Chain A
Amino acid sequence: MGNIRFTKVKLILLHIATLMLLWLFLSANCQVKQKYVVQVAASKAPMDISQFSAVHDILDSVNVVFSENWYRYFIGTFDDYRSAQQFGAKLLAATRLKNIYIHKIEIGNVEAQQPVSAENKVAAPDSDSVRQVSVETPETENPGLPQAEAERASVKPVPDTKTQSKNQTRNSGHGILGLFFSPERIETIESRLANFMQMHLPARLRPFMIFVVDKSLHDEVFLIFTAVILFLILNVTLVIIVLNVTIRTKKMKAKFTRVYGKMYEEAILAYIFNSIDWDTFLIKLKRKNKKQNRKILISILLNFKTNFKGETEKSISEIYIKLGLHNDSLRRTRSFYNHLKARGIRELINLFPEKAKELVDKLINDPNDYLRSEAQIAYIRLNPGAPFNFFYALERPFTRWTQLSAFNLIRIHQLPVPSFAEFLNFRHTNIRNFSLRMITYFQQLENISEVLKRVDDENEGTRFLAYKAINDLRIYDARPLLKSKFPLESDKNKTIILKAFRNIGMPEDFDFLLEVLKTGNMTMKTEACRSLYFMGAETREKIGEIDRKEVPELDLLIAHVTDPRN
């Protein structure tokens, strides 16, 4: 699978695309949603709904909508005008309200209808009724405030059967939300959200958002969908923010390091070349006591140390200790984090080796591979006389990565190569294997006798490396030993033995290889054929004399091994 790289632009585009999809989806769904509500009051300034309900003996939940500079207070939502009208009539009878208005709501837009009076005179819907509401503002600018305060009753709104069932669904069936909140609470949330949106959202966005809230609170599929979309949007936003912050921080850090790095480099160079004295040098090292700046200083000194030796090297160590930077490194070696410990060790090895020695000895067997590896590499660097003597104290694996690093260290820094024969009897397989590889690479012919003993090693991998060493060191005398071991070996080791005969084989080994050609599997036959063919002219000639009936695939094998592509 290919890697997907999220650049900032891509993430923003994704964000926009998600929003547009959501907009399109919901816009398509939010058409022709007309509801009827019973308006019980309206005011220019928001009023206390609970107080209003108490004064007028209203038991139902009162919602508020802000439109055309009016706060409109209404009860219930109905799918048709008739249900709203019936409910309004009952509301008048049961409360102290004097009059009410039936309004048609088109997703957030409140459209006033004819008032329902206490005498139960209900008019048909009128398109101009919105104006009527704002004009009819009796008392405290509350159009439709009730007058028949004496009429008190606890009658609940009873819409027609269809509306009732729907309202029941709305009130009792809030889906998932119903599990956590009471219907009243949900209505309150809806009302507050609607109110908030009326007051804060732009008019064009308002209907859509009110629709989304309404749908989400009453349709659980829609709620889940909205939640998922919100989650995605939040996620994308979060990623963008994190990316932005990370990139900005990184850039700032890089700039900081560059600016101070250059300043410190110039100061150090001036001090090393005796252009300035110690006091001037200290003045030039601005903010040298800050943690980040000390880190920059250490990295510059490390850079010096890895590239220069002689007088420069001494000056660098002197600066490191005089500035007390070794304390920073020592603190790092005591850190909770292993990577910091490793960094501390690395700094000490290069800049204050005397102190590093004590630490390294303790960490040679650290359970953390990274730290142990760092300590082992440090040991090799700090003990050029006996770089691998830590093997004697080693209780944990000498990892392949450390083996490679150690090898690289010896090769690149041209460290003295010790004799690896003494480590061939070690308990740890990885030490034995590493030693065999080193003996082979550095052609330590003086260790041949020890190498030969490894063909009896209990570990298959070690035996493999021993056979490889016999081949690479061209130990001709080992041929009888190889032949005796061949029948007892695994297929992999048999193959390496056969390969060895290509380089160290003699004409007298012909019969051994012929037997393999007759009885071995195809890989072994191929290697036996290759060894016979390339061993020398004598064996190459003898191949022609082999009976094709005994080795039917011989010609094919010869063609294969002589093909330059193989």
Chain B
Amino acid sequence: MTKPIWPKAPPGFVRAMLASHSALGLFIAALCYLVCVTGTLAVFAAELDQWERPASAVDAAVSGPALDRGVVNALVTATGKVDSILVSLPTADSPATSLTVTDAAGERRYRIGQDGALIPAKAAVFTRFLREFHANLHAGRMGYVIVGLAGVAMVSLTLSGLLAHPRIFRDAFTLRWGGSRRLQEADLHNRLSVWGLPFNLIISVTGAYFGFAGILAMVITGLQPGGDSAGAIRATRFPPPKADPRPAPVPSFAAAAAFIRTDAAVADQAFTLALRAPGTRGQSLTAYAHVERRALYGELYQFPPGAPAQRMGYADGPFGLQLYAATYPLHFGSYGGLLLKSLYAILGFGLSVVCASGVSIWLVRRRDGGRPAPRIERAWTGMVWGALVGLGLSSFAGLNPALSPGWLFWGGLLASLTLAAITARPSLWLKGGLAAILLAIAVGYWRPELTPAARTIEALLVLGAAWAAYLFLRQARPREAP
């Protein structure tokens, strides 16, 4: 008989940690679940963009002169003062060359044609809604803080969950399905949590970063006025040049992209170029370039007028600067191609299941203990399935500009919660509804010109519809009498 290698935790300590885990989990589970589900889908934001706007993905790279003509065309056709022109060059994720101009009339997006002509581009309504919902719940600055709080809570839940589980390694592969629902839910929750631990921690910590980096900078400034630490957080980008409205020639975007291709330090493809205050002496051209084999958003370049190009040093600067540039790709899994995105999506789905099953365990425990909470059970079912129904409905906004994705999402979620409150078997109808919605989306978005990435999204939608239909039919099947 071998002794377990994990030290035995006192039962009182385990109980206290589990109480802490339950209290925090119940308080914040719905928020964490919404953030995790939208984050899992947002991993494929670039592919969803192609799926939603197939026409925007058909143009390949344009020539350098065409690119510069496109920029000039944007300036000529702009309304009033132009704040910025942003050009996105083709990448593996996004095959189009697009231009976004922000002027007195607002923000407009175009594709750049082979002759430099600007072709108005359809907005990716659903993809934008999804990304912004995941980032800040469409609640402005406060939304980032709320999502950041979910990140902190998930770190706390991970720590208390680990400490509350003394058999963590002994049960590392146990998954019992059927029989006791409590054991089933607990096994699912614990296995997904334990094996997904590195992913769950990275996602939570980087998620909290987006909400609290600015606030921590303010705290540091308050505690040490004039210190260099808070300034360092703000100095992760080039400072904006001094405004000077006197006219000046517009710099060549093509020349900047060509310079990056030959720069020995990075020598890779620029993917985004941005010109602030274009056509003035205070203009500033910056560019992000892809860095091969690195988990970085990119390397940042600046091309000051009449001076040599500067490089920020994300690829080879101090560790902190590299970590800054790695935060976004670490959170969204955008640094390892479709393979890593797929792995992130599976692990993100697992984390969403962890959030959902945590509350289910608490509800089953109550039921087993003779204190069932049927209203909360139904509400939680409505929440878990209703979020998926709401997200499915919100994607219809991409088919009809008159529809608002936000209204569709919240309307779908509210309808699901209402259905859960008034029907005896809410999950049955929500699963059936989800299957129908996913199939309708796949049919509605189908176009012959879809890119391979967009066709993969279509296939996943059909698979999702089949999965939801299977769950619906299995639950609808009449059960044998005991």
Real binding pair: no
Q: Which of B's residues lie within 8 Å of A, judged by CB?
A: none
Q: Which of A's residues lie within 8 Å of B, judged by CB?
A: none
